[in-house]
Amino acid sequence: MKYSAANLGRIFILRLEHGDKIPDTIEEFAKTHQIDSAILHFLGGADTNSKVVVGPEDGTVKQPRKMITELLGTSEAVGIGTLFINEDGVPKLHLHSAFGRERDTITGCTREGVIIWKIGEVVIFELINSSARRKLDAETGFELLDL
């Protein structure tokens, strides 16, 4: 285990609008407001055709191929994530969410594009005085936290 300490900075409350796309909207907001690191909560609705990463196809290979599923109907959504700048200084969101429709639930990473349906509420808690950054890991191909 590795760790880094941080302090709480600004707190932002976002109301995403119908058609806004995660992660693009949140990453652009972070860039505009110079947020280098944060934790965030997401609550709202996800529209049909949103795409979610639902796991590696094979968890035993070094650089696994991702499995992507598409939401087939408008869904309730809740998620939690982190945001850290990468080696190029660009804010990168890592948000996992659960999407429910009737009795079915899909849980996954929003990095392939989740489209907001009517309601999207995000609270961003900025973390300051931390050295945490995302760094490309050659073995997995993921931008992992570098502490």
Q: What is the pLDDT of residue 140?
A: 85
Residue with tokens 């302090």: 7
Give the tens place of pLDDT for each residue, 39-49.
999 999 999 99
pTM comes to 0.94
Rounded Cα distance, 54 and 110, in Å: 9
pLDDT digits (tens, 9 = 90+) for 57-86: 887 777 788 899 999 899 999 999 999 999
Instruction: State residue 28 phi and psi, 5-degree precision.
Output: -70, -40
Domains of the chain: 16-130 (3.30.1330.80)
Q: What is the pLDDT of residue 87?
A: 97
**Per-residue pLDDT for 100 more than 80?**
yes
CB 17 within 8 A of CB 122: no
